[in-house]
Structure 1
Amino acid sequence: MIPAAVAVVVFALNNKDPITLNLWPFALVVEQELYLVLTAVLGVGVLLGGVVSWSGGGHMRASLRKQAYEGEVARRQLQAEHEENLKLRAEVKAMKSVMEHGSQQSSDDDGKTIEHAPSSAAPGGSAGQLIKSQNVS
């Protein structure tokens, strides 16, 4: 930014000669120093170029906003799926623990072992118990 300011100052000091501007069709004649006219034209050109560039990039900014929104939605979905995954893993771990403890055999007073069978093994599909003989020594 500093080199540009230095260039403008040097340009202004070297171009102090007056010029006559004929502003046709208004029949207006203005006498002004050259550096003022050229600096004003340069400033107007920079402003117009900025406005045109900004307006031309409107569709790109809209597209970026849409992509940012979609990315946020996807991030939230991923977080929800991750939490659901953790919950299901905890349930599976708990079920495995129950299955391991449930498959252990317990003895009753008659020397018979009672095993808990899955519901599909019981008659009629209801939960039941299988009774096995056990050799007591």
Structure 2
Amino acid sequence: MRLFAWIIGLPLAVAVTVFAVANRAEIRFDLWPLPFGIDLPAYLAVLVPLGLGLVAGFLLGWASGLKARLRAGSLRRRLDAAEKTQSQA
């Protein structure tokens, strides 16, 4: 599994680095109701929302499985207690 992470992660890191180097031009974001804007590199305008979306997706996926993980833990504790009672009898 660790080799798979390297096979996927290293080319992805290289691609992100190349993208960032190639898109260093400044772009201006006007924050509409506010009287000012922000100048930032184009790569940040793409990579920051992408990263925030990945984190949000991870958290939503983790939260959706929380109920199942809690139930599995409860069932595991019940099974361990039943096995302990069985071995004492």
What's 2:33 paired with? 25
What's 1:129 paired with? none
CA distance in 2, matches of 1:64, 1:26: 49
Greater helix proportion: 2
What's 1:63 paired with? 71
Number of residues of Structure 1 aligned to a counterpart in Structure 2: 81
CA distance in 2, matches of 1:27, 1:53: 38
Q: Normalised by the size of structure 1, how large is the TM-score?
A: 0.52
Give, as a single letter, the amino acid of the residue that structure 1 aligns with 2:84.
R
- Bigger mean CA deviation after superposition, 65-74 or 44-53: 44-53
Could you report, residue by residue, the CA deviation over 1:66-105 in whole angstroms, capped at 9, with x for unpaired residues? 1111110122133123xxxxxxxxxxxxxxxxxxxxxxxx
Structure 1 residue runs of 5 or longer lacking an equivalent are 82-137
Structure 2 residue runs of 5 or longer lacking an equivalent are 1-8
CA distance in 1, matches of 2:50, 2:20: 13
Pairing of 1:101-116 with structure 2 (within 5 A): none
Greater strand proportion: 1
CA distance in 1, matches of 2:85, 2:35: 68
Q: CA RMSD in A?
A: 1.6
What's 2:84 paired with? 76
Could you report, residue by residue, the CA deviation over 1:92-133 in whole angstroms, capped at 9, with x for unpaired residues? xxxxxxxxxxxxxxxxxxxxxxxxxxxxxxxxxxxxxxxxxx
| Percent identity over paired residues | 28
Larger Rg: 1
What's 1:44 paired with? 52
After TM superposition, where is structure 1 displaced by more than 3 Å over at least 4 residues in a row? Answer: none
Go from structure 1 to structure 2 and tell me whether the alpha carbon gap of 1:25 and 1:56 turns closer, same or farther (over 3 Å shift). Answer: farther
Higher RCO, 1 vs 2 (CA within 8 Å, ≥6 residues apart): 2
CA distance in 1, matches of 2:61, 2:68: 11
CA distance in 2, matches of 1:53, 1:28: 36
